[in-house]
Structure 1
Amino acid sequence: MPPKHRYTVGQHIEFVPGRYDGSAPPGAYTVVRQLPNDAADREYRVKNSRDGHERIIRESQMRQSAAVFG
């Protein structure tokens, strides 16, 4: 059985891109959707809190955020 998603829809997270993740800006994002996959590194659609752009990132690129967004 594949592992469950660690983060929930609506949760605020911190995106921490790796050196090969292109120009995606790090920082505050909100989880929009949990994406289905069978890999151990779960995927999510997230929305940038500043520019509103959405992107797909892996759980290994996410950190729990203590910030509260308005």
Structure 2
Amino acid sequence: MSNHRFACGQHVTFTDKRFLGPNWSGAFTIVKQLPSGEGAPRYQIKSAIETYSRAAYEHQLSVASAMFK
């Protein structure tokens, strides 16, 4: 049984809380569920405007708003 909250193909909002600057967020799609790291579920996510994917912890993701879908 998976402890991941989001499914592959789901649209999410990724928010990066920066230590010395403003928060950043953007629209992404879940590409793959990754093994948990540091006790938290992780995901491979991809933006339509970037040529690369990135890894994100579940606490950095939220369900995408209608404007991002």
Question: Same fold judged by TM-score > 0.5?
Answer: yes
Q: Give the equivalent residue in structure 2 for 1:29.
A: 28
1:47 shift after superposition: 0.3
Match of 2:57 in 1: 58
Q: Structure 2: which amino acid aligns with 1:37?
A: S
Larger proportion of helix: 2
Structure 1 residue ranges without an equivalent (≥5): none
The answer to whether residue 50 in structure 2 is matched with residue 46 in structure 1 is no
**Bigger strand share:** 2
TM-score (norm 1): 0.75
- Report sequence identity in percent: 32
> Which whole-Å CA distance do the structure 1 matches of 2:28 and 2:61 have between them?
9
Counterpart of 1:19 in structure 2 is 18
How much does 1:30 deviate?
Answer: 0.3
**Where does structure 2 lack aligned partners over 5 or more consecutive residues?**
none
TM-score by structure 2 length? 0.76
Alignment partners' CA distance in 1, 2:32 and 2:57: 12
**Aligned residue pairs, count:** 63
Cα RMSD of the aligned pairs, angstroms, is 2.2
